[in-house]
Chains A and B, each alone.
Chain A
């Protein structure tokens, strides 16, 4: 006879299934990337994912001396997200360094999945951004139906956000932003594809709406206020939401289970923090883009948020009324 404490049934959710859902949600973004950047994108992603897998496997086996955890797919998610945060014409060795930093330093140093305070893919990305600023900020221009293998050999150009940083106040075509025919990192070009992924994640209950929506609302309100004060100097708030890594960051990176707060209230505070920091960096900082930094800074604040923001307990509201 089998004996165990209750409950005796489970909803059959698993870490592996949640990670698989994230990967499935990334498919639309990947299709757009393939369409505009061609085979270079596949090459880069494969390189990033394989390095992540190998790095995690070796550390698990030789340093931790524990059975492999590749089956939970988290290393693949990190690799795929890292690749989506890079320009598609990046040198191969830079990608490898990024992946090793992401898994080796960002994740395994702290004891593997579940223990890392910072989002591993972003640790890798920010490491590359400050180490190789030139390579990381020359993005290839998007070319539709681009199926020849011409990795590295592409026309490059600035993104909208860097043009804005240099003083331009061009108002872009929103359809370009939605469908992705703009320059930028692999995964950030099409807002629509990322939104489809968001809907999928919500439908499968992999994530809740709290973090992404609070980021969007905060950025919209913050940049909107600035736009209202000085419309001649700034672009309208919708551009801020649709450009750069905001969608990718808000939907896929900020919602990382491990590094985001545990309560819905905490998640709203965390999202607002990311929104404010992103807007401040974009409007007045040295970098054209600030989502990665904003998420990492708020990752650091997550334990603090968890400590102070507790869920509403059953019966708590009644007690307060009584007093």
Chain B
């Protein structure tokens, strides 16, 4: 079985909710829709205070090229447009909605009927994706229409679909593959048509045997779509690692996957593309795994954006004592600082870690065991970058290729001395990124 070649770690996969079917969460009474749910400029609101909105109505428009539309996941009245604290306690302009009933926009096809026909051209598909406000649902939230709008001379020859879900605990992609395999494959065919390739590979780690078998059975009916089982190996869901694992091409430093002719899309994104193109349904909800070792009911929930975090946690069994709540998986997710914050396109999972698991061990001297060097999937030297960053030696940090770091956390995960390697590397990456930008401006 294939995997990527450099570094990586093997955390315990802890997929507690792997066999739980996707449930739909009830609607909240009040919802907060952040205007920045993607990489790039926040969207511009186009509704006013007091306006009546319906589900699927465009409420904020993409600002410029690198941005994404936002649609109302609810029907009701706009209470206000104001700054709200986001999941990490930072102020973010948001639209507050008082939810009244569940009235949908008429153009949306809500039937479960599967529609395989497609007569749209590449441009029309990408236009529909852009209109629907779809972003990469793997966690980075890169606007999908930007990724698919490949500009010549760059040319894609393969679409890689990320069903790896290498993060421990998370099972939302797994469940989506099991329950919406057919829709997913149609979504994949649509994207293949949009970027004009005739080959797609769905990479799935071997801890999801049922999903591999299920999709292999379905994929025979779709031309050029291949299911590839992969070894369990974190961070295989990273774009560069996944391309290396599936087609053995390495994306050069600083380049995008298109440089080696590959486009990577998460399975949840492919499903959203199906819904947008075939059902006219914008991106207003996603599947979120709510889990944790001490939770009584780890589950997979279909959640509309803007639902308060508290509702998700209550559904999974409530909070146990002192805890850390993480948006996403335990390796790359960010800790919530605010339990009232809304879910957004970014929220792939909600993981509740009890105190004893949440705290780091005592920090000791670096014993130069080189475990971080062996674990780094980008072939960097985390111990060196972090020390230089701590000493503010920015030239050295840049020369050590800090910008290649994908912040996967393997170094800190393996460090026996519990050194805050990634914390310092992130600091170095941010500072060096700023230095590089200002240098470019001076020229």
Contact = CB atoms under 8 A, between A and B. Distances in A.
B355 interface: yes
Contacts of A5: 334-335, 422-423, 426
Contacts of B250: 314-315, 317-318
A111 B366 CA distance: 12
A258 B367 contact: yes
A257 interface: yes
A70 B383 CA distance: 24
B416 A313 contact: no
Given A8-B353, A314-B240, A1 B367 contact: no
B367 A113 contact: yes
A2 B358 contact: yes
A63 interface: no
Contacts of A315: 240, 250-253, 255, 404
A72 B326 CA distance: 31
A263 B361 contact: no
Nearest to B400: A310
Interface string B366-406: 11111101101111110110000000000000000100100
B422 A7 contact: yes
Given A2-B335, A114-B368, A263-B370, A312 B6 contact: yes
A59 interface: no
Interface string A3-18: 1111111110111011
Given A15-B364, A18-B369, A6 B333 contact: yes
Contact of B361 (A14, A261, A316): A14
Interface in B389-443: 401, 404, 407, 409, 412-418, 422-423, 426
A11 B9 CA distance: 9
B416 A15 contact: yes
A165 interface: no
Contacts of B325: 1
A211 to B, nearest CB: 11
A110 to B, nearest CB: 11
B324 A13 contact: no
Given A1-B325, A314-B6, A317-B250, A13 B330 contact: no
Contacts of B361: 10, 14
B373 A313 contact: no
Given A315-B251, A315-B252, A6 B334 contact: yes
Contacts of A114: 364-368, 417
Interface in A1-46: 1-11, 13-15, 17-18
B4 to A, nearest CB: 8
B357 interface: yes
Contacts of B351: 8
Contacts of A312: 6, 379
A143 interface: no
A7 to B, nearest CB: 3
B381 A311 contact: yes
Contact of A112 (B323, B365, B369): B365
A317 B415 CA distance: 27
Contacts of A111: 365
Contacts of B337: 1, 3
Nearest to A7: B409
A9 B413 contact: yes
B414 A2 contact: no
B267 to A, nearest CB: 22
A115 B367 CA distance: 8
Please classify how large the interface on chain A is, using the bins under 10, 10 to 19, 20 to 34, 35 or more.
35 or more
B368 A262 contact: yes
A8 B368 contact: no
A322 interface: yes
Contacts of A3: 324, 335-337
B331 interface: yes
A65 interface: no
Contacts of A314: 6, 240, 244, 250-251, 253, 377-379, 404
B369 A6 contact: no
B368 A257 contact: yes
A69 B374 CA distance: 26
A13 B414 contact: yes
Nearest to B366: A114
A301 to B, nearest CB: 15
A1 B326 CA distance: 11
A13 B252 contact: no
Contacts of B383: 262
Contacts of A2: 322-324, 335, 355, 358-359
Contact of B249 (A69, A318, A322): A318
Contact of B404 (A14, A69, A264, A313): A313
B373 A318 contact: no
A123 B1 CA distance: 47
B318 interface: no
B258 interface: no
Contacts of A4: 324, 335, 358, 360
24 contacts: A2-B323, A2-B359, A5-B423, A7-B412, A10-B361, A10-B412, A15-B367, A69-B364, A111-B365, A257-B367, A258-B368, A260-B368, A260-B370, A262-B381, A264-B374, A311-B380, A313-B253, A313-B378, A314-B377, A315-B404, A316-B253, A317-B250, A318-B249, A319-B253
Interface of A: 1-11, 13-15, 17-18, 69, 72, 111-115, 208, 257-264, 310-319, 322
Given A13-B416, A315-B255, 6 more contacts: A10-B361, A11-B9, A15-B417, A262-B368, A313-B404, A317-B250
